[in-house]
Amino acid sequence: MDLLQRYHDAAFSYPDVGLTHPDTEEFRTGVVPPGYRRLRHRRLIGRGESLERAAGTLLTWRAHAACGLRPVASAPRAAEGVTVVSRMGLGPLRIAAPCRVVWALEEEDRAGFGYGTLSGHPESGEEGFLLERDSGGRVWFTVHAYSRPGRWYTRIAGPAPVLLQHAFARLYARALR
């Protein structure tokens, strides 16, 4: 069975879908559902037209690939409903992380998407990626996520998954610079 077909009808592995959207109160305040860990990472990545370049990299999965992930997506560009499976590791240590895009936007001064974990993902929760150009022309990249362990091995891994998620947020920002 094809990797994407395996997750085509998979359910989200968490109940609070969509809270990483930048127009939600949860995004603005940083509040996450009870029992979830919060990740908020914001970095200045450029000025002016760098928004369009960074948006092209982010929305076409190239930022994920630049971080060492091997994304396989049901569409070449992030859009609501697109399934993406990011793979990492080798052989028996290979991990597949299936997600579905729950929101995507491309506007004059902001672009990004959020995706939620599907059954089978090592974590349970949602991650949003937002690029914004402020009134001074500076381009900011924000990762807003909430998660908790989704599999037995992430439960026993202690703080390692949290450290890995923070490291990936920094790598995404670097890839978008």
Q: What is the dihedral of CA 18, 23, 26, 30, to 10 degrees?
A: 120
What pLDDT, on a 0 to 100 scale, did the predictor assign at position 160?
Answer: 87
What pLDDT, on a 0 to 100 scale, did the predictor assign at position 3?
Answer: 84
Q: How far apart are CA 123 and CA 3, in angstroms?
A: 18
Superfamily of domain 3-176: START domain (3.30.530.20)
- The answer to whether residues 73 and 84 touch, using CB atoms and an 8 Å cutoff, is yes
Q: How far apart are CA 69 and CA 87, in angstroms?
A: 6
Other beta carbons within 10 Å of 119: 13
Residues lower than pLDDT 70 in the chain: 1
Q: What is the dihedral of CA 46, 49, 52, 58, to 10 degrees?
A: -10
Question: What is the token pair recorded at 59?
Answer: 């929305």
- Phi, psi (deg, nearest 5) at residue 42: -130, 130
What pLDDT, on a 0 to 100 scale, did the predictor assign at position 158?
Answer: 85
Tens-digit pLDDT profile for residues 125-175 = 999 999 999 999 999 999 999 999 999 888 898 888 888 899 999 999 999
Q: What is the dihedral of CA 28, 29, 32, 37, to 10 degrees?
A: 100
- Phi, psi (deg, nearest 5) at residue 131: -110, 135
What pLDDT, on a 0 to 100 scale, did the predictor assign at position 128?
Answer: 97
Q: How far apart are CA 168 and CA 177, in angstroms?
A: 14
Q: Delimit the domains of the chain by residue range.
A: 3-176
What pLDDT, on a 0 to 100 scale, did the predictor assign at position 44?
Answer: 97
User: What is this structure's pTM?
Assistant: 0.94
What pLDDT, on a 0 to 100 scale, did the predictor assign at position 92?
Answer: 73
What pLDDT, on a 0 to 100 scale, did the predictor assign at position 14?
Answer: 95
Q: At what angle do helices 160-176 and 50-59 cross, to 10 degrees?
A: 130
What pLDDT, on a 0 to 100 scale, did the predictor assign at position 1?
Answer: 57
